[in-house]
Amino acid sequence: MQKRKIGSLEVTIVGVGCNNFGWRIDAQATADVVDAALDAGINFFDTADIYGGGKSEEFLGRALGNRRSKILLATKFGMKFDEHRSGAKPAYVRQAVEDSLRRLGTDYIDLYQLHSPDASTPIADTLGALNDLVKAGKVREIGCSNFSASQLRDAEVAVHQEDARFVSVQNHYSMIHREPEPEVLPECVRAGIAFIPFFPLASGLLTGKYRRGQPFPAGSRGVDGFGPKMFTDENLAKAEAWADFAASHGHTLLELAISWLASRPAVASIIAGAKTASQAKANAAAADWRLSEAELAEVARLL
């Protein structure tokens, strides 16, 4: 599988988003997904301390076992874990990384990401604490998530020369949700920051399994809380049009959604979630479609 750079890390163009682990699937199902992803050539796994109340990290670490050194492991901190654990103050950064290391069963994290900006803490203070973790060997690279272009610039200015700086930003991006395009993606190109799209399949809308006027599959996100927000008639109509385009070129909507993101500037790895081994395999294979300039132009018109 094609690999791209996140700082010094060479990650596969398709990764695994681990937000389902410990919440929507149990430890055995997590192991099945991890095994399938590894067999398919994926080397990048992205989780967070809050996913499943910590169980995502626990299940992922357990599933990896002695294969930890063969993969690149990303996790996040900063969103509210409980009444006493949240934010990006230096003391909490130090506590959060130890908690994640313990749950993951490892002694280092490849990419450690601030999950959300913390307005109550100067970004320079957070960056200083993260730099200490890099120097200590507990973290290899640092990144951020849910940052605007101006917040990325603020972080760039705040970092001391020779110290660790954000090498990636992870924001919501898909064919449905294109908010990063006007400002964040150009900033990533300018600053040499890798972009990691989350929700690349729009909570499953872009897998091709949803159709207007048909009941949503049992156990899907369309029926467990995401329906009213994402699965509108307008979005379903868009997805059907894109699926027809993909089919006319011998591909699926899933392959279009992943391959289109892979064609976007600064995108390093598309972290698609999976609940089953078959989904993990399908996600891994989806980036094989290298969209031509003519196909990209057709997609642009459809969008």
Domain boundaries of the chain, sorted by first residue: 3-302
CB atoms within 10 A of CB 264: 16
pLDDT at 202: 94
From the number of C-beta atoms within 10 Å of its C-beta (0-12, 13-18, 19+), residue 216 rates as middle
Alpha-carbon distances, residue 129 vs 28, 73, 132, 164, 167 (angstroms): 36, 20, 5, 10, 16
- Per-residue DSSP letters for 138-189? SEEEEEEES--HHHHHHHHHHSPTTS--EEEEEEE--SS--TTTTTHHHHHH
pLDDT at 104: 98
Largest Cα span, the chain: 57
Alpha-carbon distances, residue 230 vs 25, 110, 190, 209 (angstroms): 22, 32, 32, 14
State the pTM of this model. 0.94
The answer to whether domain 3-302 has CATH 3.90.580.10 is: no
Confirm if 27 and 59 have CB atoms less than 8 A apart. yes
Alpha-carbon distances, residue 3 vs 9, 13, 108 (angstroms): 9, 5, 21
Q: Which run of H or E residues covers position 114?
A: strand 109-114
* Region of residue 203 (left: phi > 0; alpha: psi -120 to 50; beta: else): left
Query: Residues 33-70, buried b or exposed e (16+ Cβ, 10 A)?
Result: bbebbbebebbbbbbbbbbbebbbbbbbbebbeeeeee
The token pair at 42 is 């994926």
Whether 51 is catalytic: yes
Alpha-carbon gap, residue 161 to 207, rounded angstroms: 44
CA-closest candidate to residue 43, choices 75, 19, 65, 73 = 73
Q: Tens digit of pLDDT per residue, the chain (303 long)? A: 999 999 999 999 999 999 999 999 999 999 999 999 999 999 999 999 999 999 999 999 999 999 999 999 999 999 999 989 999 999 999 999 999 999 999 999 999 999 999 999 999 999 999 999 999 999 999 999 999 999 999 999 999 999 999 999 999 999 999 999 999 999 999 999 999 999 999 989 999 887 776 666 665 555 555 555 788 889 999 999 999 999 999 999 999 999 999 999 999 999 999 999 999 999 999 999 999 999 999 999 999
Alpha-carbon distances, residue 152 vs 157, 183, 188, 194 (angstroms): 9, 11, 9, 12
- Catalytic residue, candidates 51, 92, 112, 173: 51
pLDDT at 211: 74
